[in-house]
Structures are given as C-alpha cells and as structure tokens.
Amino acid sequence: MIVMRRLPVGWCARQSKTLVGGVCRAMSSGDSEVLLDSVGNKGVITLNRPKALNALNLTMVRKITAALRDWESSKSLVIIKGAGEKAFCAGGDVRAVTEAGLRGDKLGEDFFKEEFTLNSLIGTYHIPYVSFIDKITMGGGVGLSVHGAYRVATERTLVAMPESAIGFICDVGGSYFLPRLGGKLGLFLGLTGHRLKGSDVLKAGIATHYVESSQLDDLERSLLEKGNTVRDIEKILGEFSQRDVAEFSLLPHLKQINHCFSAPTVEDIIMRLKEEGSEWSLGMLQVLQKVSPTSLKLIKRTLEEGATKSLQDCLINEFRVACHCLKGHDFFEGVRALLIDKDKPKWKPASLEEVTDDFVASFFAPLPPDQELVL
C-alpha cells in the first residue's frame, strides 16, 4: 500500500520505504537488476546494473515490460533512469546473446522479440513516459528512451547507435527514428556510429529537453510531487530545461553529410566521401572502411524502408533481419572482436563488392509464421 499522508522520515526507514518531498516511496529490492519504485500514482524505473553499464538482459526486459503494462492503467507518469555514474543504458547484453548463439540455444531470438515488443509498448504508451538519458545511452538504451514522449539529456549524455561495428543493424526501432532526424543525419549516425554528446543530443532531435545533471534530482522530485497532468509535466520540464546551449557540433558538416550520404548506394557514399576530400570526410571514410560491409548495406536498406513505415512495421522488419544476423557470421565476429578479444574483426564478406543485392535480400526474407514478431 502506498501511503500518501505526510510521515516522519524514521517511519519510512523502519518500513523499507523512503520519503520524496514528504510522500512515502515504496521501493523494490536494492539487489535487483531493475528497481521499481511507486511514489503515489507515479512510477520510477531504475536500471541497476551499473558495473555492466546497465546493459539490458532478458530478465530486465521482462521486468520493465510487466511494470509498464501494470502502471499504464494505474499511474499518471513513469520515469526511467540508470543507476551509477557511467551510463543510462549502454545497450543490450549482446555478449550474452552471442555466447548463447554459439551454444545453439535461442536466447537471441527471445531477447530481440521481447525487447522489440517493449520498444513498441513505449512508443504507444498512454501515459507520460520520461527518460533521463544521462551518461552513456547506446543501442538498447536508445530504444528504451527515444520512443517515449519526453527524453531529458544532460551535459554528460553520450548517444550512439554503434551496431555497424559489431556486424549488426540499428535495431530497437532505429530504422524508424533515424530517418526522421532530418536530412541524412540519421543515416550518417547509423552507418558511422558517430557519438553525439551533451546538447548535441537535443540539437539532433533525439532528446526533447536539456537539463544540467546537477538538476536531475530536483527535476525528478518536482515531477513526482507536482507532475499530475501532461500540462504540469511539460511546465516542469520547461522550467528546468536550458535553451541557451552550444551550437550543434555537426552544423559545419551538415552540407557534407547530406551530399555524401544521399548517394544511392553505400559504394557511392564511399566515392563521394573520397571526392569531397576534406579532413572530416576522409575521417568518416576511415570509419566506414573498418566496420562490417554487410552491416552498412543492411542498415542503409532498413533505414530507407523505415522512412515510410510505422514503428511497429519497422520493428517487425528489424526482427527478421536480426534473426538472420543470428544465423550469419558478422554479428558473432563483431562481438568477439570488439567486446571479448578486442582485436581486428574479420568480416565475411570482406568487401562491399562481395555483399551482393541477393545476399542483402536474404536477410529480409520472412520468417516461419510462428516465429514472426507480432505487435
């Protein structure tokens, strides 16, 4: 039972509860990978794997999904944040997925199916959903936040979709939100894995608000105390948000991005970067030459198709591609090289020219009806 009357601090301590603005806050166990706190008619989700940069595993996905479904009819606001000093969420636990795949079990398919279902739930959530994307926010962490109504970045935020470096695709709805960032910025971010920091996350359109990290506790307290309606929540977020932020760091390169990344094929993007010839373009060229050639073509196609699809259709498409990646080479090789052995990956196929149209198309083939993602 949530006690809404004013109570002394000692009472809450004796009851394994705490006070937020004088309101008793019921908390889940401190050793859980996901903490679920009820504060009156509001809920707070805390990702609690700080040593693993709050990387998502299947247990966490299931716990968050269950809480959101329960709270959608009983709460007026949900806040999600990450524990520790390094990350909101660094992504899905792809190391566990690949290790399971090498053992021959289906953890990967189960994980992606339930993670993408959670992304869809967030994208269609009926009550305000506020994510504090403070610190590292990559891959699955972006999926936990970007589809919600309100995304709060700080000066410590670092956002990226780095999947091309591990032989994968920009999943968790990446094919939906990236093409909608304006121009070719999303394709650039998806192919290169470029990291956006601080107020750049707001300028790019990924965050909706920018708040100094020192103000997050006060913002949370204010939302929990006074955020009873959408109007209240937007007023509070507006009061805490900083509008006088630095110029977008990519602004000097947007013309180059739009020119080079509007090329019809990945090979043509490479050619335009070479022809453009600036220090920046050649730096981006080096990045693209290191990542998986297969991933580059898969990401480009998923983003092109996603530009006109709903979030749910994007996730269904991504799930098909993800499942085919789990049966291929580069995803396992990329995770091995980047996260385990920390050496140079050996991609197969090794060049863009070897990644044929038929090979790319095979990743988009429908799955058996009983294996498809249903949203």
Give the residue from 147, 152, 248, 246 showing the smallest Cα distance to 196: 248
Measured CA to CA, the distance from residue 10 to residue 195 in angstroms comes to: 45
Tokens representing residue 284 in the block:
């981006």
Distance (Å) of CA 290 to CA 80, 191, 270, 285, 287: 34, 11, 12, 9, 5
Catalytic residue among 109, 115, 171, 220: 171
Task: Mark whether 334 is an active-site residue.
Answer: no
Secondary structure of 67-119 as H, E, C letters: HHHHHCCCCCEEEEEECCCCEEECCECHHHHHHHHHHCCCHHHHHHHHHHHHH
Task: Mark whether 173 is an active-site residue.
Answer: no
Task: Mark whether 275 is an active-site residue.
Answer: no
Asked whether 43 and 78 are in contact (CB, 8 A), the reply is: yes
Catalytic residue among 82, 91, 92, 190: 92
Catalytic residue among 37, 93, 109, 163: 163
Give the residue from 286, 260, 292 showing the smallest Cα distance to 273: 260
Catalytic residue among 140, 167, 193, 334: 140
Asked whether 281 and 273 are in contact (CB, 8 A), the reply is: yes
Measured CA to CA, the distance from residue 288 to residue 295 in angstroms comes to: 10
Measured CA to CA, the distance from residue 96 to residue 232 in angstroms comes to: 41
Task: Mark whether 92 is an active-site residue.
Answer: yes
**β-pair type (34-39, 23-26):** antiparallel
262 residue type, one letter: S
φ and ψ of 149, to 5 deg: -70, -35
φ and ψ of 133, to 5 deg: -90, 60
- What is the SS3 assignment for 1? coil
Active site positions, annotated = 92, 140, 163, 171
